Amino acid sequence: KVIKYDILAFVPGDADELEINDTLVNALEFADKDGKASADAAAVVAAVAVKDSNDHKVNGTVAAAGESLGDKAAATVNGNALAVKIADAKPYRGKYIQVTFYAKYTDETIKAAQVADAATVTDNGAVLEGAAKHTGTTNEASYKIKTGNDWS
Per residue in 115-147, pLDDT tens? 555 554 555 554 434 444 434 555 667 667 767
What is the tens place of the pLDDT at every residue in 80-101? 999 999 999 999 999 888 888 8
Q: What is the pLDDT confidence band of residue 6, given thresholds at 50, 70 and 90?
A: confident
For 13-54, the pLDDT digits (tens) are: 999 999 988 888 888 899 999 989 999 999 998 888 887 776
Stated pTM of the model = 0.75
State residue 4's pLDDT score: 83
Whether 82 and 62 have beta carbons less than 8 Å apart is answered as no
